[in-house]
Amino acid sequence: MKKILLFIAFSGLFCHSRLQAQMYQQKMATFLNLLDNYYVEDPRVDSLVEIGITEILKKLDPHSVYMNADEIKRANEPLEGNFEGVGIQFQIYLDTIIVVHVIPGGPSQKVGVEDGDKIVFVDTSKVAGVGINNDGVFKKLRGKKGTKVTIKIKRIGEKDLLEFEIIRDKIPIYAIEAQYMAAPDIGYVKLARFSATATEETEAAIDTLKKQGAKKIILDLTGNGGGYLNQAHALSDLFLSEGKLVVYSEGRSQPRIDLNATKSGNFEKGELVVMADQNTASASEIVSGAIQDWDRGLVIGRRTFGKGLVQKGYSLPDMSVVRLTMAHYYTPSGRNIQKSYTKGIDKYYEDIEDRYENGELFDQAKIKITDSTKYFTNGKRIVYGGGGITPDIFVGLDTTWSSKYYGKLVRSGSFNQFVLEYVNSNRHSLEKSYPTFDAYLKNFKVDSVFLGRFFAFAKNKKIEPDSAENYIKSIPTIQNQLKGLIAQDLWNASAYYQVTNEQNPIYVRAMKSFYDGSFQKFNIQTASLDDGKTDKKKASATDKTKEKKQIKSDKDDSAKKE
């Protein structure tokens, strides 16, 4: 009898909830109908519906968003790993489209377009000196695979314009921005985004570095805003042994879902450092949290962004999409690292600026812990949730980057514009003087004469030092940035990072950690790559159960909810 009464009670609640939903739908439909039929002017109901959906989502959380079909395409492009176009990287300078880099193997390279070319015509439209912007370039050069576009370019040393017919194709967008050997036994990998190919590219990069002698890896996730959850899971699997929990998610209408390491990864042994900063977010935080909670490697840098929400896209009748937050995700120790958004979206996104103003980006002691619950790593180290991943080793922001003069140089585009002009005018002599990147790295100097030319260039743009102190303090960073950007124009992004990382405080500290006993101090589990391989298939179910229990937090389940 009691079971019957409970069933009737639950049925009644369900019906009540369903009736309420129907009433709200009818109410909104009636309201929109009234507007459409009786309002004094055309209310453009379609626009009002979009505004209404957007404003409702703003009241929920910062990551639930509405996107129309065009916005969806632009948002997904970097994550899907390709777009369709002509295959160039460009920059607009002095009202001219300049080809900064021709993508290897792309359609532009196949017909002979070169770095430094200036695009004057696209089909019959003149694009030089007409005030074209980035969106205008995309509209003219991007298009469906197989379609044709004709460009006319001005090339240094050529009297007449050169004409090229290009057949558009799929152009890859790579997740790995740079990789190189940082030392004879240390490999460096810069992962820019968790796109559909992130794990595949990272695995290949690590394999390549291991063949070159790498026994230790730096995974640079600074500035990585995230991407696909499944890629965060798979990429963590490269570093964690089979059966270990990577992340779990749970929501009001979604029961707990555990994602575990499922196979043998290609870097489960060997010292590992994850570089992170205040712009390391979402999927990047899943990887950082899993590495930290299992004491698999060191997280070095600054407290991460603090996004611990999972979104799912739901299509609407007009092919627009609502990306709705449907769960929180938790690190293996049980941490929800989502920072608070109770003060509104504007305040939420001002958080990084607030960290700068209150000094947190410079001083570890000023990090605010908003969730006092203690969680424990596999090695019983205490960690906290409630606002990003706090690094094992803190590295403050370089004060040079905060100098007003350096900031003005960056924001004005002076660095890129000067280097673009310099390389285009001297490309052949530079390639002759520095036939290899190693020769460039060792011998190219940004001396006082070169600096003088750059400062004169900046002065013409009305960018001048705010004080002698800031001017002098900024010089080494300015020299390093100029050398890095020239290397990027002549070679690739790996060359840029290999130069500029020399003055990147997080990178410098990461390199130091391999030699100063940091791994032993934090009890990081880093069996040597030379150790014998363990047969994971022989691990008993009992051992796996013990392993999972060991990483549990001492907090109760009720405190896991935000």
Domain ranges of the chain: 82-172, 176-398+551-560, 401-503
d(CA 361, CA 363): 6
Q: What is the pLDDT of residue 15?
A: 52
**Token pair for residue 542?**
């009992």
Per the CB < 8 A criterion, the answer to whether 240 and 266 are in contact is: no
Q: What is the fold, at CATH topology level, of the domain defined by 82-172? A: Pdz3 Domain (2.30.42)
Query: Does residue 293 sit in helix, strand or coil?
Result: helix
pLDDT of 557 reads 34
Which ranges of the chain have pLDDT less than 50?
Answer: 1-14, 529-562
Q: Can you tell me the distance from the alpha carbon of 423 to that of 431, in angstroms, rounded to the nearest whole number?
A: 10
What's 534's DSSP letter? P
The pLDDT of residue 469 is 67
- Measured CA to CA, the distance from residue 202 to residue 190 in angstroms comes to 9
Q: Are 218 and 188 in contact (CB under 8 A)?
A: yes
CA 297, CA 279: separation in Å to the nearest integer?
Answer: 20
The per-residue pLDDT for 17 is 61
Please give the CATH number for the structural domain made up of 176-398+551-560.
3.90.226.10
DSSP-derived letter for residue 554 is S
What pLDDT sits at residue 510? 98
Tokens standing for 115? 């770095």
Q: Identify the pLDDT of residue 401.
A: 62
Both tokens of 350, joined, read: 């001002």
Cα–Cα dist 436/455, whole Å: 28
Where do runs of H (alpha helix) occur along 134-197?
134-141
pLDDT at 473: 82
